[in-house]
Structure 1
Amino acid sequence: MEEFRGNSVSSGVALGNIAVFAKEESEPEKKSVEDTDKELKRLNDALNLAKKELENLYNDAIDKVGEENALIFDIHKMMLEDLDYIENIEGLIKDEGVNAEYAVFATGELFSKTFADMDDEYMKARSVDVIDVSKRVIRKLTGKAEVSLESSEPVIILAEDLTPGETINLDKSKVLAFVTKKGSSNSHTAILARSMNIPALVNVDFNLEDLSKFNGKFAIADAAAGKFYVEPVDEIIENARKLEAELDSARAELNTLKGLENVTKDGRKINIFANIGSEKDVDAVIENDAGGIGLFRSEFLYLGRDQAPGEAEQFESYKEAIVRMAGKKVIIRTLDIGADKKVDYLGLVEEENPALGYRAIRICLNNEGLFKTQLRALYRASAFGNAGIMFPMITSVDEVRRIKEIAGKVREELILEGKEVGSPELGIMIETPASALISDELAKEVDFFSIGTNDLTQYTLAVDRQNEKLGGFYKPHHKAILSLIKMTCDNAHKNGIWVGICGELAGDLELTETFVDMGIDELSVSPSKVLSLRKAVRNI
């Protein structure tokens, strides 16, 4: 038996034979070319083909892992449109007279190293993405197909690393687990593995030269313990099978909770809703028996495109979600763009500290045309069911009053036009210490609060939540955070409005009883966490 250790990025256990995912991609040969115009045309054609392929991957990924996670491929597409990246490739072709394949390879290596040398762990993980998009362009130039897995039975995939494209193209029914030599918890492949509910280990300490000898051997990937066993002894196999049975039993038990109330043993009830990225995610909401949608992230309609979506497109998207939820509440957050979510067509400039900069409601209030288009779509869609509109990044009462003034005028205009409109609840997100501290005043202006604990934590503790070096300082259970949540909840109820939580803490089972005791009315989590949260509530 051989035992290896790694980092778990997606929990679970898998037993089966190993299939080595070996890539035989070598460095393109550097050639001199005389007709650089012809080479530039080859490059342009290959870039267009790669972009089209990424669009197809994006649409495929929406069905497999949802809109939010499919955004990975939109990000890759944007990388292929990055002017610095393109100009560097073109410069090598024109100035050095090299072939397009080599120019793309050299540029990919240069940009990848730039990311890899950064201190921020999240940015380090982007180095793999640059290599992935560069290899995609090279394949279009050479006509080679992407490496794929060929297996007639489910297997444990063993590889040096896996790109997002390779991961999403795998037949999920044939994959028991991912085990890779490289990778990080921030890698897009890790994110996809979690979304696909496939056990995954990265940074596993096997030698690359041993890859071929492992092919076909029986193994166990224990992502719960962070261990990988090749040809394990009987005792290890027996323990793994017990764990596998326990996990299967736990999943089956959760399914028995469908249709039951979210009520504690002493009769206290709480709503458990789901967070989604688009109307296409409603299937998962219904499948997991969520009581409603607590956060529809409308910004995903705005990303990965050349211009903002129009009123008609937004209306159809919001309407579909509202209609399909059949009377259950659907809360749609207005555009929350900026910070880590950028769109070129809005002309957002680079900021030294984007988390504290021009984002979310600040953009909407400075661009009323953009804001009104979304509000028109939202008011029209709200006529088809039980809807709420939620505004992010609030810091003052004046902001809320201005929002209500704009929203009121939009609704009046639609009525004058003879359009059918609803009367959606209007709420705000409490995600800044300022909004929590004045929540008593804010509660008099709106119908509900939804606490965004991710931003509330980073702003309260002055810790960048995307900087892994600060992981030890990012403490969502910090007394200050819980005090702000309790204050917000008390002020909401004092003023007769309801309050929910839609950030990561909503699904933190260690805090479920705390939130119930506080009187939180609603918890909104990813669809896959709904039943686990229901179980936790019913056991209080």
Structure 2
Amino acid sequence: MTLQVFGLPVARGVAIGKAVLVASSRVDVAHYFIGPDQVEPEIERLRRARDVVADELAGLKRDMPSDAPAELGALLDVHLMLLHDEALTGATKQWIVERHYNAEWALSAQLEVLARQFDEMEDEYLRERKADIEQVVERLLQALGRNGSVLAAAPAPHPADWGGEDPLVLIANDIAPADMLQFKRSVFQGFVTDVGGKTSHTAIVARSMGIPAVVGAREASHLIRQDDWVIIDGDAGVVIVDPSPIVLEEYRFRQRQSELERERLARLRHTPAVTLDGERVELLANIELPQDAPGALAAGAVGVGLFRTEFLFMNRNGELPGEDEQFEAYRAAVQAMQGLPVTIRTIDIGADKPFERMSHNELRHEHTLNPAMGLRAIRWSLSEPSMFRMQLRAILRASAYGKVRLLVPMLTHLGEVRQTFEALARAKQQLSDAGVPYTDVEVGAMIEVPGAALLADSFLKHFDFVSLGTNDLIQYTLAIDRADEAVAHLYDPWHPAVLRLIANTISAAHAAGKGVSVCGEMAGDPAFTALLLSMGLRSFSMHPSQIATIKQRILRADTRRLSHHAQAILSSDAPEEACCRLLRGDTGRETSLH
């Protein structure tokens, strides 16, 4: 029976495929693919975890006090029986062998299958045994976590490698940023999550991958079953489960049209981004790992406007990457860009990108009442001075191999500015004392807090450039948790207050003769290209997959004409409507907005 699930459209296009469920668990579960040569070692990990849990349960039963209820011993017997049941461990092995899932993911996938079977049982007593299965799986997951894994994550295998040719879509309650890294170059055609907003990390990465996604779909992961056929309509925010043949064919036609449009845009790759009136615009790339740099070059980026270094720190069980490891990563990105500038942002851990070891006191992200307002980004770096200097040294060392710029996130106080430059001076001195080469780098500030935007002129006295992080700027200006689907509808990049803060920052940078760019989601959204150009922005940084679309808008724009409308749009109570009306022209001819 066809079923429709509604959520928030966050990455445009259509995806069609069989559902792969990432089940939620009370225990954090890593999801990654393993290589063919890692299948047997991973099965052995599962076997060892089963033996550990069996010993634990046997020990609990052996050490039971004499006055313990008889039911408790019977319950332990049930858990031991479930532990050795082929429906659990045997089927879990099949997920490892056939889909190349790591053991934790395979176990969670099988739990999802079994839980549904129990939910459908008519007998109430049997239905309640689902809790026993969940408890056994939780023990296994904990044992796997204690044993750890020495296996490196592998790229997702093609479906043909596990005996199928069908495309796949990923369905989850939520997808952690660290897991998104593993899925980034995977076979998945689209994503659906129960939670999240338009600028949640899952949404951002899905857009950056250029694949359709719907978030905030509430009960999607409970309504959709493993291997259900699913259509993801990333334009309307609709997920269609078990579609009819007619609906399926209609969406396949739309897919073909989108592919033709992408091919047409790809021809603009090497065309300079120059407006109709001769204004040159800088189109930069946002990257997360050094391996992303060649893709940025291939897409026509003229540099990296944002290297998100925090992804080097994830999926490491709280262990920090050393200075040499960081240096090698930064150098690889710099050399891959072949002399073009690379802007490296210091670690922006916190909020929707939690780090397992938030401080030496082992403070964890989940214990923070409001992580978006807590110890994150530069605040965390300044609270960990040795870690911060280590990262600064690694970045400075990479500057000897190309043009590097340093970007500092979430500055709010001039005191933080002073501490940052003191740390930078100390890092430089340490390198000089050790005879390690580096060059002076330009230093920029992320403007993503209203307080910083209002003090942009003061910040610009200390920095060489500023970069507008519009995702957080919108969140903090409107007091909206952008990852919370309950208030996601209030997240509004067209809000007059947001647009005025952006315009004022761009104006302040021009007045100071300093560079300014936008590296948030607005930079890669064609709906805002004309407006940002009208404000005087000439530097956009976005995921490489978005560059061609934005370049097309720029090639069709006349900034002299656009600049006449900027003030009217900014002073309007309904900026989006005013923008549409003014930038289309009196004849109804579209100039570059929609």
Distance change >3 Å, CA 90–CA 456, structure 1 → 2: farther
CA–CA distance in 1 between the matches of 2:10 and 2:58? 38
Residue type of the alignment partner of 1:6: V
Deviation at 1:163, TM superposition (A): 9.9
Q: Which of 307, 325, 328 is equivalent to 2:340?
A: 328
Q: For 2:474, give the aligned amino acid.
A: T
Identity fraction in percent: 32
Is 1:481 the equivalent of 2:501?
Answer: no
In 1: Cα distance, 2:284 partner to 2:446 partner: 16
C-alpha distance in 2, partners of 1:365/1:166? 28
Specify whether residues 533 and 154 from structure 1 end up closer, same or farther in structure 2 by C-alpha distance, changes over 3 A only.
Answer: farther
Which residue of the partner structure matches residue 303 of structure 2? 292
Give me the TM-score of the superposition, normalised by structure 1: 0.69
- The change in CA–CA distance for 1:400 and 1:209 in structure 2 (over 3 A counts) is closer
* Residue in 1 that maps onto 2:60: 94
Structure 2 CA distance, aligned partners of 1:171 and 1:371? 30
How do 1:153-232 and structure 2 match up within 5 A?
A: 154-155=165-166, 183=194, 197=210, 199=212, 224=235, 226=238, 228=240, 230-232=243-245
DSSP-derived class of the 2:261 partner: helix
1:315 matched to which residue of 2?
Answer: 327
C-alpha contact 1:270 1:516 (8 A) present in aligned 2: no
Change over 3 Å in CA distance of 1:427–1:537 after alignment to 2: same
Q: What is the CA–CA distance in structure 1 between the aligned matches of 2:535 and 2:545, rounded to whole Å?
A: 24
**Cα distance, 1:94 vs. partner?**
2.9
The 5-angstrom pairing of residues 242-253 of structure 1 reads 242-253=253-264
Name the CA shift for 1:254/1:171 in 2 (closer, same or farther; >3 Å): closer
Contact 1:499 1:522 in 2 (8 A): yes
SS at match of 2:325: helix
Taking a change above 3 Å as real, the CA distance of residues 505 and 210 of structure 1, as seen in their structure-2 partners, is closer
* CA–CA separation in structure 2 for the residues paired with 1:381 and 1:277: 16
Partner of 1:248: helix, strand, or coil?
helix
Alignment-mate amino acid for residue 273 of structure 2: N
Moved more, 358-367 or 423-432: 358-367
Instruction: Tell me what 1:456 maps to.
Output: 473
Is 1:395 aligned to residue 412 of structure 2?
Answer: yes
Map 1:8-407 to 2 at 5 A: 11-13=12-14, 54=32, 56=34, 94=60, 96=72, 97-98=76-77, 99=79, 134=138, 137=141, 154-155=165-166, 183=194, 197=210, 199=212, 224=235, 226=238, 228=240, 230-233=243-246, 239-240=250-251, 242-305=253-316, 306-340=318-352, 341-344=354-357, 346=359, 347-349=362-364, 350-407=367-424
Judged with a 3 Å threshold, the aligned counterparts in structure 2 of structure 1 residues 465 and 459 are, in CA distance, closer, same or farther, namely same
Counterpart of 2:469, as a letter, is G
RMSD: 4.9
Alpha-carbon separation, structure 2, partners of 1:315 and 1:481: 36
1:424 is aligned to 441
Q: How many residues matched?
A: 454
CA-CA distance at 1:158 after TM superposition: 8.7
Q: Is the 1:148–1:170 Cα contact (8 Å) retained in structure 2?
A: no
SS of the residue aligned with 1:344?
coil
CA offset at residue 149 of structure 1? 5.9
SS of 2:507's partner is helix
Q: Secondary structure at the match of 2:533?
A: helix
Change (3 A) 1:232 1:268: same
SS in structure 2 at match of 1:511: helix
Quick check: 506-515 or 238-247, which moved more?
238-247
Residues 94/500 of structure 1: CA separation in 2 closer, same or farther (3 Å cut)? farther
Is the Cα contact below 8 Å between 1:167 and 1:189 reproduced in 2? no
Tell me how far 1:344 sits from its aligned partner. 2.0
2:446, 2:183 → 1: CA distance? 37
Q: 2:5 is matched with which residue?
A: 6
With 161-170 and 512-521 compared, the bigger mean Cα shift is at 161-170
What TM-score comes out, normalization by structure 2 length?
A: 0.64
Which position in structure 1 is the counterpart of 2:563?
none
How far apart, CA to CA, are the structure 2 residues paired with 1:160 and 1:304?
Answer: 21
CA distance in 1: counterparts of 2:224 and 2:490, whole angstroms: 38
Contact 1:448/1:497 (<8 A) preserved: yes
| Ranges in structure 1 where 5+ consecutive residues have no aligned partner | 26-46, 61-80, 114-129, 142-146
Q: Which moved more, 1:284-293 or 1:487-496?
A: 284-293
Query: SS of 1:6's equivalent?
Result: strand
Q: Shift in Å at residue 296 of structure 1?
A: 0.9
Q: Offset at 1:248?
A: 2.0
Task: Give me the whole-angstrom Cα distance separating, in 2, the residues matched to 1:366 and 1:534.
Answer: 41
User: Counterparts of 2:265 and 2:206 in 1: how far apart (Å)?
Assistant: 21
Structure-2 change in CA distance of 1:278 and 1:241 (3 Å): closer
Report the residue type matching 2:333 in the other structure.
A
- 2-structure distance, mates of 1:325, 1:222: 35
**C-alpha displacement at 1:154, in angstroms?**
4.3
8 Å contact from structure 2 (residues 169, 189) kept in 1: no
Task: Give the conservation status (yes or no) of the 8 Å contact 2:174–2:196.
Answer: no
> Could you say if the C-alpha distance between residues 408 and 253 of structure 1 is closer, same or farther in structure 2, counting changes exceeding 3 Å?
same
Structure 1 residue matching 2:490: 3-state secondary structure: coil
Note closer, same or farther for the CA distance 1:366–1:92 as it changes in structure 2 (3 Å cut): farther
Equivalent AA in structure 2 for residue 94 of structure 1 = L
Q: Would the alpha carbon gap of residues 185 and 194 (structure 1) be closer, same or farther in structure 2, given more than 3 Å must change?
A: farther
Letter in 1 for 2:302: G
Q: 1:338 to 1:198 in 2, by over 3 A?
A: closer
